[in-house]
Amino acid sequence: MRRSDLGEFEEVVLLAVAVLSPGAYSVVIAEELEHETGQTVSTGAVHAALQRLETKGYLTSLLGEATAERGGRRKRLFTVTPLGGRVLSEVQAVRTRLWDRIVPHTVLTWK
């Protein structure tokens, strides 16, 4: 697995799917990312990332039941695959190792 296979936006979308499963669909993923980052996130960008992640095998999807709030349309619900979970674990491990190597007083000078 090459780390370069996962972009930063894809990473946070994949994390949001993990947090929101089993009810993860594009609109609530965008809302979650907006809540966490304080930045506007378009559902179109989320859709594109979800498609890329599914193509890579990091996500799987299925159509949920029709709901009245969507005019009877069904939602595409996403879940993280075992491969996607391993990729998230690898990314977390790399980030943790790097954060652990930062000298504590260095972080204090950033504030």
Mean pLDDT for the stretch of residues 12-31: 96
Higher pLDDT, 65 or 20: 20
H and E: helices and strands count for the chain: 5, 2
Amino acid at 88: L
pLDDT tens digits for range 60-83: 999 988 776 666 778 899 999 999
pLDDT at 66: 74
CA distance 52 to 23: 19
Return the domain boundaries, the chain: 3-110
* pLDDT of 1 strictly over 50: no
CATH number of 3-110: 1.10.10.10
| Mean per-residue pLDDT over the chain, rounded | 89
Asked whether 80 and 14 are in contact (CB, 8 A), the reply is: yes
pLDDT tens profile 43-65: 999 999 999 999 999 999 999 88
Query: Cβ distance 77 to 61 under 8 Å?
Result: yes
What SS3 class is residue 102?
coil
Could you tell me the two tokens for 71? Answer: 């005019």
- pTM score of the predicted model: 0.85
